[in-house]
Structure 1
């Protein structure tokens, strides 16, 4: 189930049809208390946060409901500069849409979900070399537990797999695509043998195979996968673990999982996003909760196992980063928080290669609120993304932030 804050920090927006799971409700309660955290000045002093509202934000599209509502995934850029994404609600049946936004501003709904073919997509889309789009829905499908889908370049839509709890359920994250083989990899946040979620593999025109079912070594993999192309080793996170705060894990091509770090103390807790890896093998990620001020962290895990909190959010610098980071060629990291900032509506932030943290933009509601998805890095350093609420109609936006 996706969670995001509405344009009013005192209320929560949960799309129709979603059921509250215990982990997510706990996350909600902490996020709400986080926005009421009073020691803002002390948090800023201790975290060394800077505010740089010099960038220009442009609202590219405001959702109205019929064209979709509440986009909680990020956007995917193609080579021509078109943006593709999903909304968590709205559309013909109010179960979400799949859309395209062209560079000239033309907007098109490519598909409206209708429950039978999936409902409430939350993960980012992936695009193959032929222009086909692949993604997941958290609910819906033949058994109601979510789907893997394909939207072909010719506009035809197919459900590639419907989850049944035995192979996992409620896939929250997007997919990882091997562009050479066409194999898709992903995670299901719950279900499978031990009800702790799974990692799966889906062959082109073939069956889905569970590579790993989570048990005591971690559970609830809301975040997606990344892979070291040289070795075929995967990396990911679980939102829960032995301490209840989550884990960072490595998985072999055969499905053997090794826990690299168990989150505890001020590390942060409940990582909901995929990791980012640099050429030296360092892993970077976010946690939605915990940390020194209880409002989430950005972390680094070195190959030798050294864990470092790069930033602990304190409220005015942002609160609750749900999305994965994006890393540019200079080693700068960019991300979003769903709450906090100057107006309590979420932020866009940067951690420079030298470790300096800065808030690039604070949303005020009219320009969007509660960015829940991963940013996309465009040419010239522009950042593209979505907000789950706010904008002209209160149903979310697509935006561009220019440096």
Structure 2
């Protein structure tokens, strides 16, 4: 078979990368609430979030809005102080779970409500001795919720707990130990103190961070089993001037492929925090990026092509940025600078304290200030389309037709062929190919057919 009767075609033209487009989906303020501080959660085409202040009860709101910006509604507001300053929502099958972080007269609680706002229920009210201030988000495994409190417990340094989704079975599975003052360092202990980030669950293991104490006084990364056993500090952060790892990790960890990714708010080099990685056994710690001007208060999420996305509340041109960076630390890029239009007084938002979520090719998040009411915004940030796969070479080897194309690591591709150029029907050639770097290849045995035309399809992430 003559190789040149096997033809390759690239049906998708190269696409010029365009600037990211930010759209304000909702301007918060007044009864809608003020100062959102957490990432949104998504179910179907509806976003759910919380605000820290205002609303009818003055203590914040739980709200929803569609991904196209329609249908904004307040689902719950604490009029009777049943939910002061809600934080950290998760959503599952039409039910929301979250935390009331407490007030001067309460230690906080864990709540549930239906996605239409009905059936608000306090599942657990903390007493102080069993925890206080459940600031971090919840992790869910079946009918069990896991979370942390920033204070309380026998040493008042915070706890890790679990409870059932119906409010039964509350158990404190770990209590952080007392601290002692270490001159020239800080308050230290063996495990950390004041956990303020949600836990990351993998199988029967929970991963998390503390924002203070530990052997170096500046927080820890830890893991433990879901029954509270086998607590291990994976990495202690230090206040010493020679340590460039970072200080005060306050965000939830991302777990991908046996690697944890996280952020710190500060570092000892005079910078403003770090993005770091380490393996789940504590080895391989590395700083991927050192921030300037301001450190992140939220973690990162993983998109296609081994790309991490996150926010920083200050820095950039004015009032914070959304950014992307590769998982190896290269390619740091500012996607959007939040700013104020001095002529109209309009802001697209500022101080993005919460993290981002990704759906399709769009990032969604919140900004704590700005917008037409200067009380925060819910926004969508459209990413540029990914580079299309273009077949770049074809050759014959060992009785096969072989060809290569540009690819993105972590993205799946399907090679297809047809024997008639005018046909509209394509057949799959082999199985799906998962790219591991910036190029991928496939082969097809030479046959007796007169010709074949090939294309490569990038599959949804």
Superposition TM-score tier, normalisation by shorter sequence: 0.7 to 0.9
Query: Which of 52, 55, 65 does residue 20 from structure 2 map onto?
Result: 55
Equivalent position of 2:355 in the other structure: 374
Query: Which of 282, 297, 301 does residue 274 from structure 2 map onto?
Result: 297
Alignment of 1:83-102 (within 5 A): 83-102=47-66
Q: Equivalents in 2 of 1:354, 1:211: separation in Å?
A: 35
Alignment of 1:65-104 (within 5 A): 65-79=30-44, 81-104=45-68
Q: Equivalents in 1 of 2:270, 2:380: separation in Å?
A: 30
Higher helix fraction: Structure 1 or Structure 2? 1
Deviations 1:341-371 (CA, angstroms, capped at 9, x unpaired): 111x111011124422111111014110000
Equivalent position of 1:210 in the other structure: 172
After superposition, the Cα gap between the structure-2 partners of 1:302 and 1:149, relative to the gap in structure 1 and judged at 3 Å, is same
Higher relative contact order, chain-length normalized (CA < 8 Å, sep 6+): 1
Equivalent position of 1:287 in the other structure: 264
Equivalent position of 1:224 in the other structure: 198
SS of structure 2 residue aligned to 1:89: coil
After superposition, the Cα gap between the structure-2 partners of 1:63 and 1:204, relative to the gap in structure 1 and judged at 3 Å, is closer
Equivalent position of 1:263 in the other structure: 237
What's the offset of the Cα at 1:103? 3.4
Q: Equivalents in 2 of 1:228, 1:386: separation in Å?
A: 27
Deviations 1:251-298 (CA, angstroms, capped at 9, x unpaired): 11221310010012111111111100112x111001111154431110
What's the offset of the Cα at 1:53? 9.4
Alignment of 1:4-403 (within 5 A): 54-79=19-44, 81-104=45-68, 105-114=70-79, 116-123=81-88, 125-129=89-93, 131-140=94-103, 144-153=106-115, 155-178=118-141, 180=142, 182-205=143-166, 206-215=168-177, 216=189, 217-229=191-203, 232-241=204-213, 242-256=215-229, 257-264=231-238, 265-279=243-257, 281-290=258-267, 292-303=269-280, 305-315=283-293, 319-343=294-318, 345-355=319-329, 356-365=331-340, 366-379=347-360, 381-403=361-383
After superposition, the Cα gap between the structure-2 partners of 1:153 and 1:70, relative to the gap in structure 1 and judged at 3 Å, is closer
After superposition, the Cα gap between the structure-2 partners of 1:286 and 1:213, relative to the gap in structure 1 and judged at 3 Å, is same
Q: Equivalents in 2 of 1:199, 1:106: separation in Å?
A: 36
After superposition, the Cα gap between the structure-2 partners of 1:301 and 1:392, relative to the gap in structure 1 and judged at 3 Å, is same
CA contact 1:117–1:140 (8 Å) conserved in 2: no
Q: Tell me, which stretches of 5 or more residues in structure 1 are unaligned?
A: 1-51
TM-score under structure 2 length normalisation = 0.71
CA contact 1:119–1:138 (8 Å) conserved in 2: yes
Higher strand fraction: Structure 1 or Structure 2? 2
SS of structure 2 residue aligned to 1:196: coil
SS of structure 1 residue aligned to 2:64: strand
Q: What's the RMSD between the two structures over aligned residues?
A: 1.7
Q: Equivalents in 2 of 1:244, 1:303: separation in Å?
A: 22
After superposition, the Cα gap between the structure-2 partners of 1:62 and 1:253, relative to the gap in structure 1 and judged at 3 Å, is same
SS of structure 1 residue aligned to 2:174: strand
After superposition, the Cα gap between the structure-2 partners of 1:262 and 1:91, relative to the gap in structure 1 and judged at 3 Å, is same
CA contact 2:288–2:328 (8 Å) conserved in 1: no
After superposition, the Cα gap between the structure-2 partners of 1:277 and 1:221, relative to the gap in structure 1 and judged at 3 Å, is same
CA contact 2:196–2:251 (8 Å) conserved in 1: yes
Q: Tell me, which stretches of 5 or more residues in structure 2 are unaligned?
A: 1-16, 178-188, 341-346, 384-461
SS of structure 1 residue aligned to 2:244: helix
Q: Equivalents in 2 of 1:300, 1:291: separation in Å?
A: 18
Equivalent position of 1:35 in the other structure: none
TM-score under structure 1 length normalisation = 0.81
SS of structure 2 residue aligned to 1:164: coil
Deviations 1:159-180 (CA, angstroms, capped at 9, x unpaired): 11111111110111111111x3
What's the offset of the Cα at 1:330? 2.6
